[in-house]
A = this chain, B = another copy of it.
């Protein structure tokens, strides 16, 4: 089975080499053609999706998993829109990052290049197929897609549509390949395909990410795990703090940039918590509070050790009082995942103190952590949020899907 994967990766590599030399216009034309093709074949894709949903129901998938799996005319239109948006973004390949003349007359140009072959392992959401393919194509990379078995029929239909559209636009369709086998052995073999895969990006829950980190021998970017904190300082504008926490917790609790824990300075804990509890009650948010905060709340559950650092992905919020900003920083350093962390304060000095000391992809002063997102940061669409420190941190947009090389022009220099 590994041999098949190597053959697939070799085709991907050949396609990647050609794609690296393809000009922006042709890549954009292929993306636009693929967008049109998606809406054009919506009926076929939906028919395959229905089969996946039936199999999923028979297999007893949860409602939320079935919801992630389900496609509709609207969701397909939104996938197609995503492809058009990627077409509209600037080409990240061939950009000059630096130019340098050395004393010996050598001229160095540091220029962005595609990475090569990018593998994406994901779970039940079929839109990841189209999103990942579009971002990789625009950045000149071939993509090897390995989605979950729940979505295999939908993924096959989408991948086939994309492949024939890009072939119609004159590109090698092997720049987009979906792995048909959805067993665990194939995924593990993909994680160890050194020489065939230049980068592996897992997109999914903590279990998937953990499995990739433990098993992969190819380079990986860890994404997704987000236990985000909001620290409400004694000098906070409390009304602002309430709105920030409310938004960060409730606007979309299932995502990685949602707030999971609020740390509140004990001097303002009483006032803040009574305001916050009222607002959060609108969405029936369950509060799990430490011993200091619980008496200050009407309906809080006692927090246990397991609540610190917990990613609920739900309408649940941990609440803890701290003595000062240092204790807040200490808590975040111990329990955070390096995703997004926030301080609410009107004190400039405290804000800068927090900003310097928190080690996370995104550190906020007076804004909701929900903004950690490629589009919100102005990077365009993203393939995930990196929570590691190597290569890229935070939203992975087109630029983060490139590498670089040094071009060195000489006149016979020797050393």
Contact = CB atoms under 8 A, between A and B. Distances in A.
Interface of A: 17, 20-21, 100, 102, 106, 108, 113, 115-116, 194, 198-199, 213-214, 216-217, 219-221, 237, 240, 243-244, 246-248, 251, 333, 351, 355-357, 359-368, 370-372, 376-378, 388-391, 393-394, 403-415
Contact of A371 (B216, B248, B415): B415
Contact of A359 (B116, B378, B409): B116
Contacts of A388: 198, 219
Contacts of A409: 351, 365-367
A115 B404 CA distance: 20
Nearest first, the 8 closest Cβ-Cβ pairs linking A and B are A367-B410, A247-B414, A389-B403, A240-B412, A391-B391, A370-B415, A367-B413, A219-B390
A408 B368 CA distance: 10
Given A198-B390, A370-B414, 7 more contacts: A17-B359, A199-B389, A216-B217, A364-B410, A366-B410, A366-B412, A368-B415
A388 to B, nearest CB: 6
Contacts of A408: 362-365, 367, 371
B21 A405 contact: no
A228 to B, nearest CB: 13
A331 to B, nearest CB: 14
A244 B414 contact: yes
Contacts of A244: 412, 414
A105 B378 CA distance: 13
A324 to B, nearest CB: 17
B219 A415 contact: no
Contacts of A221: 390
Main secondary structure of the interface of A (DSSP, over half): mixed
25 contacts: A20-B359, A21-B357, A106-B367, A106-B376, A113-B359, A113-B389, A115-B390, A116-B359, A198-B388, A198-B389, A198-B390, A213-B217, A221-B390, A243-B414, A246-B414, A361-B406, A362-B408, A365-B409, A365-B410, A366-B411, A366-B412, A367-B411, A367-B413, A368-B413, A370-B415
Contacts of A403: 389-390, 393
A376 B102 contact: yes
A173 B20 CA distance: 47
B367 A405 contact: no
A380 to B, nearest CB: 13
Contacts of A102: 376-378
B389 A390 contact: no
A50 B349 CA distance: 54
Contacts of A404: 393
A216 to B, nearest CB: 8
A333 B357 CA distance: 45
A5 to B, nearest CB: 17
A360 B31 CA distance: 28
Given A371-B106, A408-B363, A408-B365, A247 B389 contact: no
A363 B393 contact: no
Contact of A406 (B17, B213, B377): B377
Contacts of A371: 106, 408, 413, 415
Contacts of A389: 113, 115-116, 198-199, 219, 403
A210 to B, nearest CB: 9
Nearest to A402: B389
A409 B346 CA distance: 11
A405 B393 contact: yes
A363 B407 CA distance: 5
Given A199-B390, A389-B199, A406-B394, A100 B377 contact: yes
A213 B194 CA distance: 9
Nearest to A220: B219
A117 B404 CA distance: 25
